[in-house]
Amino acid sequence: MLNIDRLTQNGILFSKGYVSSPVCSPSRAGLLTGINQVEFGHDNNIGDNQPGFDEQFLRLPVRQKTIVDNLGGLGYANGLIDGT
């Protein structure tokens, strides 16, 4: 049995939480990749950036592997649901 399957059956209690960025998009990128987002250049939110900010560092690079890529390789089905 895989660890992720054990988590779904038994659950887990997280008593403390930490984020790697004070803004949402980079923090999510860090969570989805398991890597500090500054390492692959995603360290700012996409909208309303400061003047002079390098746009190269605004989004998650397509080449960056995420948890979805890793779980797909283990046979898990992945999908996206747009709630709009």
Residue 77 above 80 pLDDT? yes
Q: What pLDDT is attached to residue 52?
A: 66
The pLDDT assigned to 79 comes to 84
CA distances from residue 63 to 49, 53, 60 in whole angstroms, order as listed: 23, 22, 9
pLDDT reading at 48 higher than 60: no
Identify the sign of the CA torsion 69, 30, 36, 60. Answer: positive
pLDDT, the chain, mean: 81
Nearest CA-CA partner of 63 in 43, 45, 39: 39
Closest listed residue to residue 28, CA positions, set 16, 8, 15, 44: 44
